[in-house]
Structure 1
């Protein structure tokens, strides 16, 4: 009899959808690295699911997306004349600038352009500039060209980093990524180049509250007291629920985060906000840590899902100590709140999903990317999984010593 997989059906389904969405642009090895699974395991999942839809309703989702695109095309076709791209622009060769508005060249460029006709000495006298200064400028031409070449190459790399991270990275994370690639570059220089070329990260939007407290639930102590630090992995976890608009409905997402490494150990998504949602996320976190999590503190708000008897029973089963903040205080679960802000800023900024499968795929893609590759400011700009690898290496060296 085959041994049951440690990965949930939900995780496998989302992993297959992520691979298919790459459309051959990424290898099994690349996608599996973000998922933290063996490439052959992912290959097996895809092979077994080949020819079958990843989730029920996928064909209907495709039809709905096609209908939306057709409607958008029809709307654009009926758009008012003169509103198309380039409408109202002046004709080529027309006199846009009045005489005298022409842009003047730099003095040294002017000298170089007319030196053969009038001579350097005469032009410098008329312009009241120094001949020695012009000679120094000529002597430094090669060095300037070299610096410009380096700057152009740096801008190109900044653009690649910005595009790879889907426009989410600002100055600090772009600078950390460049440093991670071995570049010795000043942060202010990166900021200047990004500002000059109009490259910017995404910014926060106002969030909505999701916690629905159960006033009759038994009291649970706050074991964290807003101290979102930990000396080792699996000392403290925290979790929360958020929701994402999908058409006229909502997709709810629950997560479990290791406070030390900021890694999302488990998550679950569903069109409901029942206790099963947070239980599935917690059980996924337990599996990620190998099943033995006795003594870990799990901190959450006082939402009815976390105060339910079913959730308390699962915590007791695994030896997890529950901790809860005060009602109506987002600061008591600030780390999880900040995590949701980052996810929404980088996945659904000014956007509404049309289908559930589209929303699931986008969120799943970001969660795996966050764990494996997204640089975190609280981790000296390492990704959570990279930080855990360094943590394990340090622990081994300490034991060897």
Structure 2
């Protein structure tokens, strides 16, 4: 048969293959309709189609994002990152590729909270789960988390501004006590120039934040304490979210041989 000139063989081969896969139309019928021979089809079929090349590039991109995350990213987060790079793909396609190649996101083990409920009278909850602020230095929030090292646990206390979500102060040590949270508070105050009168400091009801030492530090700085309910992570959601991101994005990708 006289064959038509084909400017893009890969596209024609893809159409013929799709007709067979999706509609059950034989290669012979499709070739005749498109004016090419079966010999021509099988000759060009050995070359990857544009769709096959795109899929291969997508697979490589998914694997790269998964590896870069240290095996912690699932399909939703990988999908978001690829879309930002310009890929037009569904999250379900990402999930199928991950399943096909055995890319299973490593689950982050949830630990018990570091802070323990104190016996002292708790401060009122002035935040009431409204983790927004209209300006800097109106509301700060603080919490502690633990990091496993070869020398034992390292405790991190930090202070975040609810307006900017900026980390203002932090302190690390081998013990989670009042001195640690006071040190983080003092760093935050120094970051803001020392005058932080009127700031509301929100935390959980851990004994460190309810201690006399921390209360005195707040009073000296003119900071008003606010505390969420016992055992409710939602009452200090911003701090909990910070802990989660820190663990997933950094801590669980590294091994720390010492506390320093």
TM-score exceeds 0.5? yes
Instruction: Give the counterpart of 1:169 among 68, 73, 79.
Output: 73
Q: CA 1:288/1:147 → structure 2, altered by over 3 Å: closer, same or farther? A: farther
Whether 1:131 and 2:28 are equivalent positions in the alignment is yes
Contact 2:79–2:91 under 8 Å retained in 1: yes
Instruction: Give the counterpart of 2:242 among 335, 339, 350.
Output: 339
Q: Which runs of 5+ in 2 are unaligned?
A: 1-12, 14-24
Whether 1:304 and 2:207 are equivalent positions in the alignment is yes
CA RMSD after TM alignment: 3.6
- Kindly provide the CA deviation profile for residues 318-361 of structure 1, in whole angstroms up to 9, marking residues without a partner as x: 4433101233433322332343344345555599854323xxxx
Structure-1-length-normalised TM-score: 0.48
Whether 1:236 and 2:133 are equivalent positions in the alignment is no
- Kindly provide the CA deviation profile for residues 112-171 of structure 1, in whole angstroms up to 9, marking residues without a partner as x: xxxxxxxxxxxxxxxx95621356693995996112212222222233333333333222
Structure-2-length-normalised TM-score: 0.70
- Kindly provide the CA deviation profile for residues 12-35 of structure 1, in whole angstroms up to 9, marking residues without a partner as x: xxxxxxxxxxxxxxxxxxxxxxxx
The equivalent of 1:284 in structure 2 is: 187
Q: Which runs of 5+ in 1 are unaligned?
A: 1-107, 109-127, 358-401
Deviation at 1:247, TM superposition (A): 4.6
Alignment map for 1:88-103 (pairs within 5 Å): none
The equivalent of 1:152 in structure 2 is: 56
The equivalent of 2:178 in structure 1 is: 275
The equivalent of 2:84 in structure 1 is: 180
Q: How far apart, CA to CA, are the structure 1 residues paired with 2:190 and 2:85?
A: 33
Contact 1:171–1:200 under 8 Å retained in 2: no
SS of 1:185's partner is coil
The equivalent of 1:327 in structure 2 is: 230
SS of 1:167's partner is coil
The equivalent of 2:7 in structure 1 is: none
Contact 1:298–1:323 under 8 Å retained in 2: yes
SS of 1:205's partner is coil
| Greater strand proportion | 2
Aligned length: 231
Q: How far apart, CA to CA, are the structure 2 residues paired with 1:287 and 1:143?
A: 65
Whether 1:206 and 2:206 are equivalent positions in the alignment is no
Deviation at 1:269, TM superposition (A): 1.1
Q: CA 1:182/1:290 → structure 2, altered by over 3 Å: closer, same or farther? A: farther
The equivalent of 1:197 in structure 2 is: 101
The equivalent of 2:162 in structure 1 is: 259
Q: How far apart, CA to CA, are the structure 1 residues paired with 2:88 and 2:253?
A: 35
SS of 1:306's partner is helix
Q: CA 1:189/1:234 → structure 2, altered by over 3 Å: closer, same or farther? A: farther
| Greater helix proportion | 1
Deviation at 1:218, TM superposition (A): 4.4
Q: How far apart, CA to CA, are the structure 2 residues paired with 1:243 and 1:237?
A: 20
Contact 1:207–1:341 under 8 Å retained in 2: no
Deviation at 1:254, TM superposition (A): 1.0
Contact 1:202–1:346 under 8 Å retained in 2: no
The equivalent of 2:127 in structure 1 is: 224
Contact 1:278–1:306 under 8 Å retained in 2: yes
Q: How far apart, CA to CA, are the structure 1 residues paired with 2:46 and 2:163?
A: 50
